Structure 1
Amino acid sequence: MRSQLDYHTIREIFARFEAAEPEPKGELEHVNAYTLVVAVALSAQATDVGVNKATRELFKIADTPQKMLDLGEEGLIGHIKTIGLYRNKAKNVIKLSRILVEDYAGEVPNSRAALQSLPGVGRKTANVVLNMWWHYPAQAVDTHIFRVGNRSGICPGKNVDAVERAIEDNIPVDFQRHAHHWLILHGRYTCKARKPACGTCLIRDLCLFEDKTL
């Protein structure tokens, strides 16, 4: 069985994604670049729904690094204690807020290296922020993208770094900006881990997944 789709098939897949959802959006609520960084950092091993529920009130009072420092770690914990690993995440948010105030005049930097230097911000978080806020075609590979990429043959790889490179290498550049959102949403709502909804999948006829459901 082939493990990698060809160029023309991949182009057709993303043309279908685009026709169905021309401007896909990330589901984490935020009001500026800073709150996006915080929301994505909090979302590790948590659902977007759970993070949004916790941050909805938080961001009304702490939407800048200085306001977050003023709130303090314990104050922050009071808002995010429903999120997994909340104590460690609170420490990181306070630390990264202090760095932003002291080293970046309260602004969020827009280079991947600078973002990754912040506590609790890895490559995936940095790529989400670069893509969602600055519209840079960075590819944030999560479990959904890893699964869809390998099942379908769009961007197979043995690890997230390999899948990220495969997205950049295989997907035509005119689809790169929204590629990771289309793949995430497809994995979240259609190509689910345990019960993929192949019967309603708009790329069923193009996908290489052998165990398609009815």
Structure 2
Amino acid sequence: MSDRPAPQRTSRPRTRKPASVPASPLARTRRARKIAGLLAEEFPQAPAELDFTTPLELAVATVLSAQSTDARVNLVTPAVFAKYPDAAAYAAADRAELEELIKSTGFFRNKANSLIGLGQALVERFDGVLPDTLDELVTLPGFGRKTANVVLGNAFGKPGITVDTHLGRLLRRWGLTDATDPVKAERDLAGQLPAAMWTEFSNRAIYHGRRICHAKKPACGACLLAPLCPSYGTGPTEPTVAAALITGPERDHLLALVGLDAEGLPVGTGAGAGAVT
């Protein structure tokens, strides 16, 4: 037996390597469904964050949300909805009055054009009623596939994938698509998930993108999806640093899912190794 003293062990935090990017369509499908399950744990309830009571109201709110925040739009829409209760009211709107009401959402002249045009198109072509098919919705002023899918999924209860900037970014970070084109990304995800999951997956992923997986600095070290993510390490991996980046009313719940308290420390252990290791 050697007389050499045993080497001293040093405590080093374990690091997580990024998950590999799925190489096959089947592997991407499996990852998409695992991610769907984790998103459901993060956000069991994930309704659209725009306030509305009718399909037309959601359509209007979605048009106004372009280059704006949902919170800002929700401050504006009560007065808009009260003044313009139906398609005919938008069709006959005084442009200056409408622009003044929606001015704080930005790009108000273009948005006023879209809303007046939307009202006119609905009156002239659809008896004043918002249609409930993708093919018809995308023919309306102010509507693209994103807006149409928001309305289909959240107002009509029909499956829709909403590829906004958040969902597009996350699909690429998760290795579920290589596409930067929203339509291509939508089709890739549609092939990975059953239609019944499309709307809830979209909403939950958008919540995840707004609260956790930020564009510039994602909270990698406090993310429940870290074990599945090829982009792990894009943001801070140290849990207490990452925890400070998580926002929204669900913050305590999101941190608890990865074993962290509100300060970003491991629950019950004080300062030390992180929850995601």
Structure whose CA Rg is larger: 2
Q: 1:132 to 1:174 in 2, by over 3 A?
A: closer
Q: Among the aligned pairs, what percent are the same residue?
A: 34
Alignment of 1:54-203 (within 5 A): 54-203=76-225
After TM superposition, give the deviation of residue 156 of structure 1 in Å: 3.7
Query: Cα RMSD between the aligned structures?
Result: 1.8
After TM superposition, give the deviation of residue 155 of structure 1 in Å: 3.7
Q: 41, 50, 65: which is aligned to 1:28?
A: 50
Q: 1:172 to 1:111 in 2, by over 3 A?
A: closer
C-alpha separation between the residues in 2 aligned to 1:160 and 1:204? 24
After TM superposition, give the deviation of residue 62 of structure 1 in Å: 1.5
* Residues 163, 182 of structure 2: 8 Å contact kept: yes
After TM superposition, give the deviation of residue 174 of structure 1 in Å: 4.7
* Residues 90, 116 of structure 2: 8 Å contact kept: yes
Q: 1:122 to 1:10 in 2, by over 3 A?
A: closer
C-alpha separation between the residues in 1 aligned to 2:31 and 2:44? 19
Q: Deviations for 1:14-71, whole angstroms, at most 9, x for unmatched residues?
A: 1121133233111111121111111111111111112111112211222211233444
* Residues 145, 180 of structure 1: 8 Å contact kept: yes
After TM superposition, give the deviation of residue 134 of structure 1 in Å: 1.2
Normalised to the residue count of structure 1, the TM-score between the two structures is 0.92
C-alpha separation between the residues in 1 aligned to 2:146 and 2:227? 30
What SS does structure 1 have at the residue aligned with 2:33? helix
Tell me which moved more, 146-155 or 189-198. 146-155
C-alpha separation between the residues in 1 aligned to 2:213 and 2:226? 10
C-alpha separation between the residues in 2 aligned to 1:23 and 1:137? 17
* Residues 46, 83 of structure 1: 8 Å contact kept: yes
1:2 matches 2:16:
no
* Residues 156, 166 of structure 1: 8 Å contact kept: no
After TM superposition, give the deviation of residue 186 of structure 1 in Å: 0.8
Tell me which moved more, 1-10 or 153-162. 1-10
After TM superposition, give the deviation of residue 210 of structure 1 in Å: 4.5
Q: 1:121 to 1:179 in 2, by over 3 A?
A: same
Structure with a larger share of its residues in helix: 1
Give the total of aligned pairs. Answer: 214
* Residues 92, 116 of structure 2: 8 Å contact kept: no
Normalised to the residue count of structure 2, the TM-score between the two structures is 0.72
* Residues 100, 107 of structure 1: 8 Å contact kept: yes
Structure 2 partner of 1:37: 59
* Residues 213, 220 of structure 2: 8 Å contact kept: yes
* Residues 31, 63 of structure 1: 8 Å contact kept: no
Q: 1:172 to 1:66 in 2, by over 3 A?
A: closer
